[in-house]
A and B are shown apart, each in its own frame.
Chain A
Amino acid sequence: MSAGLPLSYSLVLSAVLFTIGVAGVLVRRNALVIFMSIELMLNAANLAFVAFARQMRSVDGQILVFFVMTVAAAEVAVGLAIIVNLFRLRETVFVDEVNLLKG
């Protein structure tokens, strides 16, 4: 760990990763893949946090990353439970085949 990386490199990387996540959410119809794209977005945010923590020489950003990861884990668990339930009910995980809440 020597003279470092320009902050902007990390940020640009984070932005691109986030965009790929967004595209994934909008493009795919498999609920599990959509979920994975959401994880990508979360990780992009984490990367930004870490980059800034390094920039500002404080460890607070990394603490936040810690918390984000914990919550992401909980979220994944609950989300997968829901998807499993949905599969049991509708025999499908494709989100464009489920529109019971249509107005």
Chain B
Amino acid sequence: MTSAWLWAIPALPLAAVALNLLIGGRLGRRGIAWLSCGAVGASFLLALRAVVLLAALPQSQRVLSETAWAWIHVGDFSANVSFLLDPLSAVMILVVTGVGFLIHVYSTGYMAHDPSFRRFFLYLNLFMFAMLTLVLADNFLLMFVGWEGVGLCSYLLIGFWYERPAAAEAGKKAFVVNRIGDFGFILGMFVLFAFTRSLNFRDVFAAAPQAFASAPEAITLATLLLFLGATGKSAQIPLYVWLPDAMEGPTPVSALIHAATMVTAGVYMVARCHVLYQLAPASLMVVAVVGAATALMAATIGLAQNDIKRVLAYSTVSQLGYMFMACGVGAFSAGIFHLMTHAFFKALLFLGAGSVIHALSDEQDLRKMGGLAHRLPWTHATVLIATLAIAGVPPLAGFFSKDEILSSAFASGHIGVWAVGLTGAVLTAFYMFRLYILCFRGPSRLSHEAEHHLHESPPSMIVPLVALAFLSIVGGWVNLPFPAGAQAFERWLAPVFEGGPPLPARAPLSPGVEWILIELSIGAALLGIGLAFRLYLRKPEAATALATRWSRLRELLVHKYWVDEFYDAGVVRPLAAIAGWLWRFWDETIVDGAVNAVSYAFEGASAVLRLFQTGFVGTYALFLVLGVAALLLHVLRH
């Protein structure tokens, strides 16, 4: 039985971080590029090997576990640095290391002229370490270490160009909002520990049905708290506000962290804890509703944005909502399936956008693009593929995963969720093709500067685009129902998701209903695409007319429903005021006052004592004699 070397998968990027810190200065750009990409590439190969080893095991025993280090051991509680590889984490590590590797390669081209090249890869590798720890952990505590680590790296990378105030602010916002979610995560851990006396996944999930039998509210509370953490990390209502601002960071960061990996941590966590959620149907409902609401809301905001990256950011929020919708109706493997396909085409979209931005000398406004289809052929082709994928056009990846979610929702009786999902699909197709058309088709609205410097991106950037495009095409084919009802992906994940109390039975859909649903999904996508073409290509005047007629609604969307302003007034300002009061009252008056009082006391005491030092010899002689008299008195008494 060969060892799976699970520990090495997160350890290699960590080693790269250490080497970068120690000798990075002497490696030069090429050296650092080889170091970081090499570390991630090696992790990918190790992950592949580990998954192959896993697959060799019989289906019911597909679990590989490895303890690297006994970390905490107190009484009968222990939380170790140990790793767990099962089909779920297998999917995650392949996605993280694979897409991560492609993005690392892309970054060597994108950041080639940046003065802080070395620091960028330092942070990027650190992120990979944290994310892999999160995904491979076998207990809540280690997972939380990774959870916090990705939050930290997110802060560091969003605020990478920290001399820009907007970037620094965005980094801070991301970290603070995430922290609120983390607070929920911690409290959830506390509740779980209180009832099950352990934080190890296997122990908790095994003990949960018994432990919470007497207090069903407790499990609902715990799962809701954990979900709060997930809303923070995966940008759902109410903690999604950091993600659009996070676009201040370099585009590869947006692709890696805010599309393919970090934001999926919440989905992974919910899927991992499915036993707990199945024990608390109320929480599951909350997850579904929040996911649906976020999906719809973010899609509407995305309609009205003019910055190419903002559109993609809101699109990410929306697609994450779809993943939570899937989990909420009990279709956990559908959610993970969408996680995987989304990683492919969203990363591709961001990298492609980065390619466009790079080609246009850092122009990000859609209103200043246009007609780039023939001038940036590779970028155009790959982005088109990604856009078709996200819109849900068969046979590309997005269609399969999105349809899986929608039919699961319909089949489990959550018709409302299904309807919201369908509407969202129309909107998704619409705003994504709006982006595509404004960017690549139509008349050119480029500035002179951009015209002058227009050039296709270097191979280091194009090759990852092509690779991701390929994955976006074939990624959905792993779950095809042929040959012979295969659905390989779902069956791969099945052993992870069985167990736990049974969900309300899903009436298997008759083939007729299934086909109708599929047709409706495709129809929704085509409707969205058609509308986009009509409004933005054929008759642009119609778009402007529409905008004027519905100007108030448009304003609402452009200003993102004024949510940020609401948070600022309702939460940020009062907290800042309280902090100010605490500073003035407690810190300055009481604490400083106490310290100063001590010194004043000493000063006062010494001022009194100083009176004895008159400087006159006569006084001193008097005290001498007084002392002698006192001594003699003492002797006399005894």
Contacts and interface: CB of A to CB of B under 8 A. Distances in A.
Contact of A29 (B612, B618, B622, B625): B618
Contact of A102 (B615, B618, B622, B625): B615
A63 B282 CA distance: 108
14 contacts: A22-B625, A25-B621, A26-B618, A26-B621, A26-B625, A95-B618, A99-B616, A101-B615, A102-B613, A102-B614, A102-B615, A103-B612, A103-B613, A103-B615
**Interface majority SS on A: helix, strand, loop or mixed?**
loop
B617 interface: yes
A65 B625 CA distance: 24
A100 interface: yes
A22 B613 CA distance: 21
B73 interface: no
A101 B613 contact: yes
A21 B527 CA distance: 121
Contacts of B448: none
Interface residues of B, number: 11
Chain A to chain B: the 8 pairs with minimum beta-carbon distance, closest first: A103-B613, A99-B615, A102-B615, A103-B610, A101-B615, A95-B617, A99-B616, A25-B621
Interface in B594-617: 610, 612-617
Interface in A26-59: 26, 29
Interface of B: 610, 612-618, 621-622, 625
A26 B615 contact: no
Contacts of A96: 616, 618
Contact of B614 (A22, A29, A99): A99
A102 to B, nearest CB: 3
B625 to A, nearest CB: 6
Nearest to B612: A103
Contacts of A98: 615-617
A103 B613 CA distance: 5
Contacts of B615: 98-103
B602 to A, nearest CB: 15
A31 B615 CA distance: 15
Contacts of B616: 95-96, 98-99
Given A98-B615, A98-B616, 18 more contacts: A22-B625, A25-B621, A25-B625, A26-B618, A26-B622, A26-B625, A95-B616, A95-B617, A95-B618, A96-B616, A99-B614, A99-B616, A101-B613, A102-B614, A102-B615, A103-B612, A103-B613, A103-B614
B332 to A, nearest CB: 81
A21 to B, nearest CB: 11
A26 B616 CA distance: 11
Interface in A52-103: 95-96, 98-103
Contacts of B610: 103
Listed residue (B612, B614, B617) with the most chain A CB atoms within 10 angstroms of its CB: B617
Contacts of A102: 613-615
Contacts of A22: 625
A79 to B, nearest CB: 12
Nearest to A95: B617
Contacts of B622: 26
Nearest to B611: A103
A98 B615 CA distance: 7
Contacts of B613: 101-103
A96 to B, nearest CB: 6
Nearest to A27: B618
A102 B620 CA distance: 11
Contacts of A25: 621, 625
A24 to B, nearest CB: 10
Contacts of B612: 103
Nearest to A101: B615
A98 B610 CA distance: 17
A81 B622 CA distance: 24
B127 to A, nearest CB: 64
B306 to A, nearest CB: 77
B610 to A, nearest CB: 5
A101 B613 CA distance: 8
A17 B610 CA distance: 34
A100 B612 CA distance: 14
A22 B625 CA distance: 8
A36 to B, nearest CB: 14
